[in-house]
């Protein structure tokens, strides 16, 4: 039975109750306890820095050449907090209920409430670190609104909020490195989790420069390795983003949840050809001032500025008059797909819609728009050689954020004792759809405010436990398995690159398990991915050696993505309803909205790995709502 360990008390009391009753570790004992943190994004850097400050012995890992480059750096739009600085009716409870509703009632009440509760504190923390958030002329912090809500609770630092928050966390981490509390291992990739007597006791890594396979032992292991949206190949994620850390932990016993809940971001730059390696995100904040439209007529090839007002279809304003262009992401993305499928798409591949600023520029002036979004307009120009102050941008949906991830309880501990998952790597707070600007928050709150309580609560019990060292046989076995797999990749000597398999997998997933899914599309995708996986193990080709070898790195990541892709389809297949980002075409209302089924599917899926040749086993954590009523999520 899955125990989410929700504390006693009313919703508002739970987190305080928890904190008041956690076990503490005497400061003198802390340096005897080792913690491994995989990942230096907002979740990992904040966790490693905070545990270092407390006096634990921390090892921090990332695959990039510096911790500052984790993909949190790419977040543009902002970070939410229920400060109610605008006096517009915001509160912890409202943020909680917006997030629960935004997630289409598929997340845990207690977790979401805690996220809202800790949000105000994060802004304080970031400002103290020197994060230069936008300010009003009077010197007060500025806010803007983001998709899916009607209050202004989003804090931002121009279009580089993620970068600035991450640099704050990175600097806090560097401070602990300078003080010898944290040791960093850059250009290191975690390739296995070591479990001893059912508890997480360490990891196996590969040094991406020397190629050395290393053993690292610890009293607790934290995975803050980010999202796996790159499974679709074309996505807003960085090239190195991977599922390997969580997938290998999954194979060692950690359950995976909500695996098929993937958010497709509505405002990305469309694919323009086969060579493409990523889809760049244009911040959703643009939807505050940009209007989305397509020509009313299908296959209309006129230039956007030549299409008169009455021949334009502002389809979000038409379908969702209350929220209009600020409708939540899943709804906006699906509405775009609906228009593109109807033949009204624009751009070279007819896969895009317009995002138009002419009205905002007319009303507010170009200077004001420049001040808000200049870096985004510049980026657009760099990539497309188009001036978006004059012609509308072309945008289309792209795989972006994974609500799914490792199952965790209230303490952010996985089903393996001593293994914690933070940030995008866990499934916890966003349900079936994440609200914009909530995930920088979640990653930070997990690392700064939750882990420093819940990890010591576990570590307190470790003081008397037998110390496991890297000489333990479990380390030898894990190391051996990692080495064998790498050798296997090098030995195949086929004729197709790792990228070939990754791109093919991505296409299969976009078609079968993308913005909308059907039983047939999912079943077909499973068959095709299985075939692709078999081909991978016979026809992969890697050149180069055991040391610096980006192809060898890719092969390991693609191998895990192939397994994960199948589980994504199975997860989507088992959920015979539409909720949030998971849209099963069989389950929709007459006007094409998602049809949730609370009677049969008000649970979180938790998949257990049963071995390479067996089916996964599905466990269910029922969701209980005591503070909000399950309504139909409507943004009309």
CA distance 621 to 633: 22
Quick check: 319 binds other proteins (CB under 8 A)? no
Among 62, 100, 217, 604, binds ligand FAD (CB under 6 A): 62
Catalytic residue among 30, 114, 329, 575: 329
Which x/- pattern, by CB under 8 A, does the window 399-438 give for other proteins?
----------------------------------------
3-state secondary structure 448-491: HHHHHHHHHHHHHHHCCCCCCCCCCHHHHHHHHHHHHHHHHHHH
Which x/- pattern, by CB under 6 A, does the window 1-20 give for ligand FAD?
--------------------
411 contacts which partner out of other proteins, ligand FAD, none, CB within 5 to 8 A by kind? none
Angle of CA points 136, 127, 14, to nearest 5°: 110
Q: How many CB atoms lie within 10 A of CB 74?
A: 16
Q: Which stretch binds ligand FAD (CB under 6 A): 56-64, 211-219, 381-389, 599-607?
A: 56-64
Q: Measured from the CB of residue 119, what is the shortest distance to other proteins in angstroms?
A: 11
Among 46, 285, 414, 426, binds other proteins (CB under 8 A): 46
In 3D space, the residue among 558, 494, 489, 551 whose CA is nearest the CA of residue 529 turns out to be 558
536 contacts which partner out of other proteins, ligand FAD, none, CB within 5 to 8 A by kind? none
CA distance 575 to 582: 9
Three-state secondary-structure class, residue 381: helix
Three-state secondary-structure class, residue 304: helix
Which x/- pattern, by CB under 8 A, does the window 267-306 give for other proteins?
-----xx-xxxx-xx-------------------------
Among 43, 49, 331, 579, binds other proteins (CB under 8 A): 49
- Residue 102, burial from CB neighbour count under 10 angstroms (0-12, 13-18, 19+): buried
Label residues 432-469 b or e (16+ Cβ within 10 Å = b). bbbbbbbbbbbbbbbbbbbbbbbbbbbbbebeeeeebe
Rank residues 130 and 198 by Cβ distance to other proteins and give the closer one. Answer: 130
Label residues 237-266 b or e (16+ Cβ within 10 Å = b). bbebbbbbbbbbbbebbbbbbbbbbbbbbb
Q: Which of residues 212-251 bind ligand FAD (CB under 6 A)?
A: 224-227, 236-237, 242, 244-245
- Are 106 and 580 contacting, i.e. CB atoms less than 8 angstroms apart? yes
Angle of CA points 227, 230, 231, to nearest 5°: 100
386 contacts which partner out of other proteins, ligand FAD, none, CB within 5 to 8 A by kind? none
Which x/- pattern, by CB under 6 A, does the window 268-297 give for ligand FAD?
-------------x----------------
Tokens 């039975």, residue located: 1
Which x/- pattern, by CB under 8 A, does the window 122-161 give for other proteins?
-xxxxxxxxxxxxxxxxxxx---------------xx-x-
CA distance 142 to 133: 8
Rank residues 75 and 292 by Cβ distance to ligand FAD and give the closer one. Answer: 75
Which x/- pattern, by CB under 6 A, does the window 20-39 give for ligand FAD?
------------------xx
410 contacts which partner out of other proteins, ligand FAD, none, CB within 5 to 8 A by kind? none
Counting residues that bind ligand FAD (by CB under 6 A) gives: 45
Q: Which stretch binds ligand FAD (CB under 6 A): 14-22, 270-278, 422-430, 498-506?
A: 422-430
Q: Which stretch binds ligand FAD (CB under 6 A): 58-66, 107-115, 376-384, 467-475?
A: 58-66
Polymer length in residues for the chain: 636
Quick check: 22 binds other proteins (CB under 8 A)? no
Q: Which of residues 132-171 bind ligand FAD (CB under 6 A)?
A: 161-162
What is the sign of the dihedral through the CA atoms of 65, 178, 134 and 451?
Answer: positive
CA distance 238 to 226: 11
Among 39, 41, 44, 67, binds other proteins (CB under 8 A): 67
Quick check: 184 binds ligand FAD (CB under 6 A)? no
Rank residues 213 and 281 by Cβ distance to ligand FAD and give the closer one. Answer: 281
- Are 124 and 133 contacting, i.e. CB atoms less than 8 angstroms apart? no
Rank residues 211 and 324 by Cβ distance to other proteins and give the closer one. Answer: 211
H or E segment to which residue 59 belongs:
strand 57-61
Quick check: 431 binds ligand FAD (CB under 6 A)? no
Q: Is 68 a catalytic residue?
A: no
Rank residues 558 and 606 by Cβ distance to other proteins and give the closer one. Answer: 558
CA distance 257 to 457: 24
Rank residues 137 and 629 by Cβ distance to other proteins and give the closer one. Answer: 137
Q: Within a 13 Å sphere around the CA of 589, how many CA atoms are in the beta-carbon half?
A: 10
Quick check: 79 binds ligand FAD (CB under 6 A)? yes
Residues of this chain that interact with ligand FAD (CB under 6 A) are 38-44, 61-64, 70-72, 74-79, 161-162, 189-190, 224-227, 236-237, 242, 244-245, 281, 400-401, 423-425, 437-441, 443
Enzyme catalytic residues: 329
């Amino acid at each position: 039975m899955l125990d989410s360990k929700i504390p006693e008390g009313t919703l508002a009391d739970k987190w305080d109750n928890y904190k008041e009753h956690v076990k503490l570790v005497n400061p003198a004992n802390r340096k005897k306890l080792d913690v491994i943190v995989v990942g230096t994004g907002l979740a990992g850097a904040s966790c490693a820095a905070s545990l270092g400050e407390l006096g634990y012995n921390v090892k921090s890992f990332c695959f990039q050449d510096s911790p500052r480059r984790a993909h949190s750096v790419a977040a543009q739009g902002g970070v939410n907090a229920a400060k109610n600085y605008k006096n517009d009716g915001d509160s912890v409870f409202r943020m909680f209920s917006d997030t629960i509703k935004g997630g289409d009632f598929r997340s845990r009440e207690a977790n979401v409430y805690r996220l809202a509760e800790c949000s105000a504190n994060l802004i304080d923390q970031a400002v103290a670190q020197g994060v230069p958030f936008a300010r009003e002329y009077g010197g007060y912090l500025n806010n803007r609104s983001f998709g899916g809500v009607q209050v202004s609770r989003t804090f931002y630092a121009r279009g580089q909020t993620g970068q600035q928050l991450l640099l704050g966390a990175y600097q806090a981490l560097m401070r602990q490195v300078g003080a010898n509390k944290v040791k960093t291992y850059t250009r290191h990739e975690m390739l296995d989790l070591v479990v001893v007597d059912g508890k997480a006791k360490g990891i196996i890594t590969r040094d991406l420069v020397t190629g050395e396979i290393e053993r690292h032992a610890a009293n607790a292991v934290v995975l803050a390795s980010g999202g796996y949206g790159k499974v679709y190949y074309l996505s807003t994620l960085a090239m190195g983003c991977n599922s390997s850390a969580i997938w290998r932990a999954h194979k060692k016993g950690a359950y995976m949840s909500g695996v098929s809940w993937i958010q497709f971001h509505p405002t990305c730059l469309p694919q323009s050809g086969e060579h493409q390696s990523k889809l760049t995100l244009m911040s959703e904040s643009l939807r505050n001032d940009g209007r989305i439209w397509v020509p009313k007529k299908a296959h209309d090839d006129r230039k956007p500025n030549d299409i008169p007002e009455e021949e334009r279809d502002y389809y979000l304003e038409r379908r969702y008059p209350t929220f209009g262009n600020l409708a939540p992401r899943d709804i906006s993305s699906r509405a775009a797909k609906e228009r593109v499928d109807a033949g009204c798409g624009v751009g070279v591949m007819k896969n895009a819609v317009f995002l138009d600023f002419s009205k905002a520029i007319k009303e507010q002036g170009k200077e004001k728009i420049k001040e808000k979004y200049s870096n985004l307009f510049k980026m657009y120009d760099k990539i497309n050689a188009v001036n978006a102050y004059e012609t509308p941008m072309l945008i289309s949906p792209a795989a972006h954020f994974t609500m799914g991830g490792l199952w965790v309880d209230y303490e952010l501990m996985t089903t393996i004792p001593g293994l914690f998952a933070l940030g995008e790597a866990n499934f916890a707070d966003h349900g079936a759809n994440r609200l914009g600007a909530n995930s920088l928050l979640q990653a930070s709150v997990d690392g700064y405010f939750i882990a420093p309580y819940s990890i010591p609560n576990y570590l307190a019990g470790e003081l008397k436990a037998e110390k496991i060292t890297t000489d333990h046989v479990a380390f030898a076995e894990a190391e051996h398995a990692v080495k064998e797999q790498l050798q296997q990749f090098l030995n195949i000597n086929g004729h197709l690159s790792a990228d070939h398999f990754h791109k093919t997998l991505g296409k299969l997933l976009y078609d079968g398990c993308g913005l909308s899914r059907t039983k047939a599309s999912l079943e077909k995708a499973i068959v095709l991915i299985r075939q692709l996986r078999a081909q991978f193990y016979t026809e992969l080709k890697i050149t180069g050696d055991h040391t610096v070898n980006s192809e060898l790195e890719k092969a390991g990541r693609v191998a895990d993505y192939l397994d994960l892709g199948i589980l994504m389809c199975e997860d989507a297949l088992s959920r015979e309803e539409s909720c949030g980002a998971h849209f099963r075409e069989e389950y929709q209302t007459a006007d094409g909205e998602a049809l949730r089924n609370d009677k049969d599917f008000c649970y979180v899926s938790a998949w257990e790995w049963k071995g390479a040749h067996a089916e996964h086993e599905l466990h269910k954590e029922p969701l209980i709502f005591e503070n909000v009523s399950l309504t139909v999520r409507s943004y009309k």
